[in-house]
Amino acid sequence: MESNKKYWKGLDELQRTPEFAEKNKNEFAEELPLEEVLSESGLNTVTPRRDFLKTLGFGLGAVSLAACQTAPVHKSIPYLIKPEEVTPGVPNYYVSSYNGQSILVKTREGRPIKVEGNGTGLFGNHGTDATAQASVLDLYDVSKLKSPKLNGAETSWKELDAFVKGELNKVQASGKKIRIVSSTVTSPSAKSVIAEFISQYPNTTHVQADAVSYSGIIQANGSSFGKAVLPRYRFDRADVIVSFGADFLGTWIAGEEFTKQYVSNRNAQSLKKGKMSRHIQFEAGMSMTGTNADSRIAVKPSEMGLAVLALYNAVTGSQTGGAQIGNNTAADKAVKLAAKELQNARGRALVVAGSNDVAIQTVVNAINAALGSYGATIDLDNPFYTYSGNDASFNAFVDEMGRGEVGAVFFLNTNPAYTYFNSKAFSDALAKVPLKVSFADREDETASLCNVIATNANYLESWGDENAFEGYYTLIQPAINPVFSTRQAEQSLLIWSDNAQKNYYQYVKAYWEKNLLPAAGKTWKQLLQEGFVYTGEKPATAYTFGGNVAAASQAIATQSKALAKDIEVQLYESVAIRDGRHANNAFLQELPDPVSKVTWDNYAAVAPKFAEEQGIEEFDLIEIKGANGYTVVLPVLLQPGQAKGTISIAVGYGRTKTGKAGNGVGKNAYPFASVVNGTVQFLTTATISKTGGKMELAQTQTHHSYEGRTVIREASFKNYLKDPHTGNDKHQGEHKTYDLWPEHKQIGHSWVMAIDLNACTGCGSCVVACNVENNIPVVGKDEVRRRREMHWIRIDRYYSFNEGGKSVTEEKEIEKLDNFDDVSVVHQPMLCQHCDHAPCETVCPVIATMHSSDGLNHMAYNRCVGTRYCANNCPYKVRRFNWFNYWNDSRFDNYLNNEFSQLLLNPDVTTRSRGVMEKCTMCIQRIQGGRLQAKLEKRPLKDGEIQMACQQACTAGAIIFGDFNDPNSEVRKALGDERTYYVLQELNVQPGIGYQTKVRNTVEA
Amino acid sequence: MSAHNESILREPLITGENITYSKITNDVLVPVENKPNKAWWIGFGIAVAFALTWVVTISYTFWVGLGTWGLNKTVGWAWDITGFVWWVGIGHAGTLISAVLLLFRQNWRNSINRSAEAMTIFAVICAATYIFAHMGRPWLAYWVFPLPNQFGSLWVNFNSPLVWDVFAISTYFSVSLVFWYTGLLPDIATIRDRATGARRRIYSILSFGWAGSVKNWQRFEAVSLILAGVSTPLVLSVHTIVSFDFATSLEPGWHTTIFPPYFVAGAIFSGFAMVQTLLLIARKVMKWENYITMFHIESMNKVIIVTGSIVGVAYLTELFIAWYSGVEYEQYAFLNRISGPYWWAYWSMMTCNVISPQLFWFKKIRTSIWASWVLSIVVNIGMWFERFVIIVTSLHRDFIPSSWVMFYPTVVDVLLFVGSIGVFFTLFLLFLRVLPGIAMAEVKLILKSSSDQAKQKLIREGKVDPEQAEFYKNSLEKYDSVSKTEYANI
């Protein structure tokens, strides 16, 4: 009901006086003092004393309260006086040299954090091997000594020098011998230092011996051609390569250099020209080189020499030695075929053998001579100097010590107490030497027997030089001041020999300026920038084979008979740990073996069928008793392709005094070795017995066949020549992609990658390079066993078996095979594919992973809550989860959980916390860096300017990264190749990484 | 609901003589109004021990990291999400009973809905713990909510099934809780009226001032109906969305359109099994045989046969479709389930979920208390295996063979799961002590129509066809709470 009642607020309203009407026409009856406030007077009112005090009091109180909060203390100390060349955030690169290869050391704010190959170098190329990549971690090794030691106690250099000099003079006076024992020294400056030391103490001799020796080749060349050198093999000039147990892509002489050469005849460019080398490998254990061979034939060590002889006979038509290679009919057939192929490729053929037996190497020389390889694929005039150790001289040295003739011994880069097969004889003899000096950087097996440890500096803290092959000299220049109280061995020798020049830097500089730089026409400054000089190739001279094949064949027959027992044992160097010197390097321990994918252990590799016959299973602990009575208990690994009746064991493990990471990893296999025909041979016979125990090896891959899936695509070279698309045609025709949504236009860049399966040898240097670049945690044996390794890039290795001309790839069918000998291997680097339709991106509840406009799959660690849904939904299984805080957990001491080794961390890459997902970022820090550089220089990015860490480390050039939107980019061309396919492209996830089919140069007999 | 006489052909939902409203109250409130008996203490002691194990293991996991579990680079989910789906599934029976059966006017639900709903809530709590626990950084769990950016977190990804899950589970939990609590109001008021001192005050607050007026009842009925309407879609949607976690992914073995109905059926299947597990014991210990009768047990067993068979058909369909699809990854995934290294898990699942419920076709078995209880446990085990099979055997061997691995649980995995059962039972046993385990008000509602005494009265009064009365008497054969001699007198 509507009411007509009116209420009024006062008499004014009722009477509606004019004043009232005037006042109430506005919203507020009384006028607001706005004008007054805004006018000059309002703003300029003088603050009364009380107000002033009030405000002052509040202000003071508030400020003091606010000040009570502890502000974070930042420990960053700015440069007080900034070095001219250091700009925080900008890396500096210094040339240096590692194992004869010229490298670039990347430093950030004074810390070396990464090693790259020096692209202009002549030994190796832009790539490096895994050990070079990992070598920076050795600088930050916590297990190193922090100061020199004298008789077990830390001491100063002054006292140490006084002691050593006194002792040396006493020895000199007594007439006893002084010995400098080292692994091969290639450094001309160091050799000069040693020579001057010898002139000061004339009783001195320099004994060089390598843990893994090449004496056999050197001696054989001495007797065959009168040139006792390690020749420079040229795999790039060889169309047919036959290798008898030489792991030339991995550990044999110069794996990186040979990889570069070898791949040049097998990569995309070569295939485009319709050319591919043929590689036949005879070996007992499956080596990395064997996995790359076109034909691989398993032969026992006892058959190896016979096979070489058989090849000699087949090539030359002579009838030396026995006609049969044991009972190995497959080898017989293969040798005959190989001989035919070698003869067809005269002058473009190369036969190599990994054996250290003079006799075998002599016959190999004879074959190569018959094939006209000298001067073509083998260069005796420009030899390698990387290994010149002499087994006999070391044996003689041990005898001298045993007789008490040696008064002083210096150990440089050598650890015979561990690597010498008869280490007891060595240590007993060593005990008779009064002055024992080790230049080790840690108290290793030999150093702990010495009374003086004159701690050597890391190569990144040192001056020096190397001479990998004739005429090629590389410079070692320090990238950091010595971290601990260490001194270079050369400098110590200079001081102890009272050399006029006691500063090794000055010494090296003077040596180069006198001997090497004038010939090359370069200055020291240029050298510091370029890193090497090359004085040119020596002209080839003709060689005629003068070796005694008949005597060699006798020796081979005797040796073969001695080895032909039920079980033959072959020792080998593993690709990562090598002779044991890298045992304390966590990156290398966690690098899966290229073949077995085992980390953190050595093992007894046996053939699956042989294991079945012996009643042993995988991971059974077996006791292996060598011919010399040495026994060792190792877990069994079933290795397809392993010759039946043989066991392969890696040396370099079972270190007891290498440091936190490497102590007690695996078992020492060196004692199985013995001296035969004057050289150390890594062969023995053995008996085995089961211990009943089991030990699971930490493998990063436990399923070994690719189940006939299109993940791997292969073709034979013959078919490839007919149709380059072959092997890539499982899905007929061009693969179409479909999209429910309008396509994202990728303006600007589109970062993609191409990986050539035919170039990849599986060496794993990309894995280590990625680890170092991206601060990837090392998780240790137990965690790898739980399948939690953190590697962003892995190399998948698949076996397939050939039966009746058919490739068998499925597990269920493989189980039915009678014969696991004829095995083919393919390596596939696998990393985040940066899919355009990334399945990980849609499922993340918090958008922690998303796509960038330039085609990358980003991962925002800070946003990740760790549901792991993305990893489950990733068809490539490349995502890695941080199960623990790897940098704050004492179980992971080996790398991240240590203030010192944390100095290795790349400051451009965040470390990840526990509970966060991570994966390949496509080295986004490098992409950003490259883009910024181009922007600063106001130019577009150049193709190839930005390189991924994995790509950069890859000597084989199997990985190409670039911009797909650039029509002239390398990667665009590579992806246009007929061999290109995308893994799991049928899922329509549209991966950004294309693979090129594996081509095998198989020949049907 | 219905004051008229119910057909004599229907089996009674309440048995026993001289059942009055007050007797119902007295019977139901025995555990609430008295000191707990020995059986309760023993059960509670065990449950708390396991719950404490859970507390310890979850704390250890939070402290150290998810590395304490058996997960690895390939298998990112295993016991965690298995446990999560299992618990969510169990919850479904409660909602089905309280909502769907209410809408369909199935009066037999009145005796069991309260406990079933409580079970739902506790099961969802257990499931929720897994959502937190499985996160790498659980302290940031709130990031999965679409909170305003000003709050400090960012917007979520509405494409992700995990976000749908967050909504599904939280909606489910809140609606279930409200429904359950609304139903409790008259009963809490009853307790309040009979209590004294502090208990009275507490129940008084909890009863929200229920006065028992006609208006109260009218609104109560209306709200119940509305909530039933709201909950009914949830029965279907929650597990559908949970199944999307798998179905929308591209893992072979997960990427399947059959998942939503198959998961929902499986959820109801496991939920009813859990209700059986709980109530068969509760009815014995609490002496509630007159309210939870053989009819209830048999009805639930019938639901178990139906849903178990649906699940079985789904399993076979999956196999057929995998073969029919011609996709090698899909085919391998299922071949691997059947004959791979986890074959035993698959066949445990098949035996427990498909074969064992078929035993309920035999009346003897489905009306045997022992058989029902044992089979309910078997079904629960089977449903756990189902989730394990789906999650682990799909993940451990998917596309790229190099990444194929095995999953082995750690002690922490196992204790966390066993512990979560402890948490569940601790909550359930506490519930029985403080709130009525049977909806008294709703049971009273049907006393006059669906009770045995009402039907006897009808027979005695000769208001029913003797032939029908005979049928009725025969139907009582299976009841363990009806004395047969009594009927001889009528």
CB contact at 8 A, A373 and A222: no
Non-local CB neighbours of A759 within 8 Å, separated by 6+ positions: A263, A266, A267, A268, A956, A957, A958
C-alpha distances (whole Å) from A46 to each of A40, A41, A59, A60, B300 are 12, 9, 19, 21, 86
A903's tokens: 């100095």
Domain match, A843 and A983 both = yes
Interchain CB distance below 8 Å, B162 and A865: no
- Residue B18: both structure tokens together: 């001289």
pLDDT, tens digit, 9 for 90 and up, residues A79-130: 777 778 888 888 999 999 999 899 999 999 889 999 999 988 888 878 898 9
H or E element in which residue A637 lies: strand A631-638
- Are A441 and A505 found together in one domain? yes
Residue at a domain's end among A384, A412, A431: A384
pLDDT 10s digits, B359-418: 999 998 988 889 999 999 999 999 999 999 999 999 999 999 999 999 999 999 999 999
- Asked whether residue A837 is assigned to any structural domain, the reply reads yes
Residues of chain A with Cβ-Cβ distance to B134 below 8 Å are 867-868
Could you give the 3-state DSSP secondary structure of residue A796? strand
Residue type, A744: H
Q: Is the confidence at residue A42, as pLDDT, over 60?
A: no
B429 or B98, which is more confident = B429
Give A686's strand partners: A567, A626
CB A940, CB A934: distance < 8 Å: yes
Integer Cα distance of A459 and A476 in angstroms: 7
Predicted local distance difference test score (pLDDT) of residue A736: 67
- Give the pLDDT confidence score for residue A573 in this predicted structure: 92
Segment among A70-79, A485-494, A535-544, B71-80 with least mean pLDDT = A70-79
How many angstroms from the chain centroid is the CA of residue A260?
Answer: 15
User: Nearest chain B Cα to A597, which residue?
Assistant: B402
- Are A769 and A836 members of one domain? yes
How close does chain B come to A882, measured CA to CA in Å?
A: 8
Name A259's Cβ contacts closer than 8 Å, sequence gap at least 6: A127, A249, A761, A763, A955, A956
List CB contacts of A592: < 8 A, sequence separation 6 or more. A598, A599, A699, A700, A701, A764, A767, A789, A794, A795
Alpha carbon distance B139, A866 (integer Å): 11
Residues A690 and A817 occupy one common structural domain: no
Nearest-angstrom CA–CA distance, A618 and B40: 52
- Residue A915: closest C-alpha in chain B: B136
SS3 for A123? coil
Closest residue to B401, CB basis, from A709, A842, A864? A709
CATH number for the domain spanning A271: value is: 3.40.228.10
Amino acid at the residue A664? G
Residue A682 lies in a domain: yes
Choose among A883, A983, A989: nearest Cβ to B66.
A883
Establish if A653 belongs to a structural domain.
yes
Do the beta carbons of residue A613 and residue A539 sit within 8 Å?
no
Lowest mean pLDDT among A60-64, A296-300, A603-607, B409-413: A60-64
Beta bridge partners of A599: A698
Distance from CA of A975 to the nearest CA of B (A): 22
For each of the domains in chain B, give its residue range(s) and CATH number, in order of start: 1-19+451-490 (no CATH), 29-445 (1.20.1630.10)
Question: Three-class SS of residue B161?
Answer: helix
Q: How many CA atoms lie within 13 A of A283 on its CB side?
A: 33
CB A189 within 8 A of CB A508: yes
Which candidate from B134, B397, B405 shows the least CB-CB separation from A787? B405
The shares of helix, strand and coil residues in chain A, as percent rounded to the nearest 5, are: 30, 20, 45
Query: Which 3 state secondary structure label does DSSP give A55?
Result: helix
Other Cβ atoms closer than 10 A to A232: 22
For A257, residues 6+ apart whose C-beta sits below 8 A from its C-beta are: A101, A123, A124
Closest among B14, B301, B160, B60 to A849, alpha carbons compared: B160
| Tokens found for residue A898 | 């240590």
Pair A200, A254 in one domain: no
B153 pLDDT above the threshold of 60: yes
CA distance A811 to A321: 42
Structure-token pair, residue A17: 């006086």
**Dihedral sign, CA of B451, B454, B458, B460?**
positive
* B224 contacts B114 by C-beta, under 8 angstroms: no
| Residue in this structure with the two tokens 């400054």, named with its chain if needed | A525
Residue in B64, B72, B70, B408 with CA at minimum distance from that of residue A784: B72
- With CA atoms as reference, the chain B residue closest to A885 would be B65
CA B61 to CA A960: how far, in whole Å? 42
Asked whether residue A547 carries a pLDDT value surpassing 80, the answer given is: yes
- Listed residues A353, A384, A415: the one ending a domain: A384
What pLDDT digit, counting tens, does each position of A823-862 carry?
899 999 999 999 988 999 999 999 999 998 888 999 999 9
Q: Which amino acid is at A711?
A: V
Answer with the one of A384, A403, A430 that is the final residue of a domain. A384
B400: nearest CB among A872, A876, A913 = A876
Contact at CB, A883 and B250, closer than 8 angstroms = no
Contacts of A840 in chain B (CB under 8 A): none
Whether residue A875 is found in the same domain as residue A959: yes
A300 contacts A284 by C-beta, under 8 angstroms = yes
Q: A826 near A999, Cβ under 8 Å?
A: no
Do the chains contact at B74 and A880, CB–CB below 8 Å? no
The answer to whether position A441 is within a domain reads: yes
Q: How does the average pLDDT of chain A come out, rounded?
A: 88
Cβ A126 vs Cβ A119: under 8 Å: yes
Q: Does residue A223 fall inside a structural domain?
A: no
Asked if the Cβ–Cβ distance from B399 to A788 is below 8 Å, we say no
- What residues in A contact B168, CB-CB < 8 Å? none
* Closest C-alpha among B490, B479, B360, B369 to residue B11: B479
Report how far residue A146's alpha carbon sits from residue A395's, in angstroms, rounded to the nearest whole number.
33
A129 SS3 class: coil
Which chain B residues are Cβ-neighbours of A983 within 8 angstroms?
A: 400
Residue type, A239: D
| A373 and A400 both lie in a single domain | no
Residues B403 and A704: their CA atoms lie apart, in Å, by: 10
Which of B73, B160, B251 has its CB closest to that of A845?
B160
Distance (Å, whole) CA A242 – CA A349: 8
Q: Is residue A764 part of a domain?
A: yes
Mutate to test the interface with A, among B64, B71, B402 (most CBs of A within 10 A): B402
Q: Average pLDDT for residues A498-512, to the nearest whole number? A: 90
Q: Do B398 and A875 touch (CB under 8 A)?
A: yes
With bands split at pLDDT 50, 70 and 90, how would you rate the model's confidence at B468?
confident
Nearest residue of B to residue A699 by CA position? B405
Indicate whether A424 and A528 sit together in one domain.
yes
Mean pLDDT of A148-164: 91
Average of pLDDT values for A564-579? 91
Is pLDDT of A894 > 80? Answer: no
CATH code at position A684: 2.40.40.20
Search chain B and give the residue with CA nearest A850.
Answer: B157
Answer yes or no: do A499 and A420 share one domain.
yes
Which is it for the CA torsion A60, A66, A68, A70, positive or negative? negative
Residues of B in contact with A843 (CB under 8 A): 159-162, 248-249
> In whole angstroms, how far apart are CA A70 and each of A66, A74, A76, A954?
9, 12, 17, 49
Cα–Cα distance between A774 and A923 in angstroms, integer? 8
pLDDT tens-digit readout, A974-991: 998 888 999 998 888 889
Phi and psi torsions of A788, nearest 5°? -130, 25
Decide if the complex's ipTM is over 0.95. no
Q: How far is A880 from chain B (nearest CA, A)?
A: 6
Token pair in block for residue A1001: 């140069």
CATH code of residue A525? 3.40.50.740
Using one digit for the tens of pLDDT, what is the confidence trace for A590-610?
999 999 999 999 999 999 989
Is the alpha carbon torsion for A622, A624, A629, A631 positive or negative?
negative
Q: Is A376 inside any structural domain? A: yes
Q: Please indicate, yes or no, whether the overall pTM of this predicted structure exceeds 0.90.
A: no
Average pLDDT, chain B: 89
Q: Within 10 A of B368 (CB to CB), how many other CB atoms are there? A: 18
* Total Cβ atoms within 10 A of residue A234: 17
Residue B2 — very low, low, confident or very high, per pLDDT cuts 50/70/90?
Answer: very low
CA-nearest of A188, A251, A181 to A209 is: A181
Q: How far apart are CA A629 and CA A627, in angstroms?
A: 5
A847 part of a folded domain: yes
Asked if residues A247 and A288 have their Cβ atoms less than 8 Å apart, the reply is yes
- Is the Cβ pair A788, B160 closer than 8 Å? no
- The identity of residue B184, as a single letter, is L
Residue pLDDT, tens place only, A724-733: 888 776 545 5
Instruction: Evaluate if residue A771 carries a pLDDT over 90.
Output: yes
For an interface test with A, the pick among B62, B64, B73 (most A C-beta atoms closer than 10 Å) comes out as: B73
Identify the pLDDT of residue A40: 60
% of chain A residues with pLDDT over 90: 58
Domain tally, chain A: 4
Q: Are residues A864 and A971 in the same domain?
A: yes
A517 versus A6: the higher-pLDDT residue is A517
Closest by Cβ to A786, choosing from B72, B166, B251: B72
For B222-235, write each residue's pLDDT tens digit: 998 899 888 888 88
What's the mean pLDDT in A332-347? 90
- CA-nearest of A227, A217, A318 to A542 is A227
Length of chain A: 1005
Q: Is the pLDDT of residue A255 over 80?
A: yes
- Name the residue among A867, A871, A989 with its Cβ closest to that of B162: A867
Q: Are residues A591 and A665 in the same domain?
A: yes
The domain in which residue A369 lies consists of 230-384
Same domain, A248 and A183: no
Which CATH number does the domain housing residue A776 bear?
3.30.70.20
Size of interface A-B (CB pairs under 8 A): 166
Which residues of chain B make contact with A915, given a CB cutoff of 8 A?
65-66, 135-138
What distance in Å separates residue B246's CA from the closest CA in chain A? 9
Please, are residues A726 and A720 in contact by the beta-carbon 8 Å criterion?
Answer: yes
For residue B379, CA distances in Å to A121, A598, B307, B414 come to 70, 42, 11, 19
Neighboring chain B residues of A869 at a CB cutoff of 8 Å: 76-77, 160, 162, 245, 249
CA atoms within 13 A on the CB side of A112: 28
CB B288 within 8 A of CB B438: yes
Q: Are the CB atoms for A309 and A322 separated by under 8 Å?
A: yes
DSSP B347-401: HHHHIIIIIGGGGGGSHHHHT-HHHHHHHHHHHHHHHHHHHHIIIIIHHSS-S-G
Tokens of A537: 């190739």
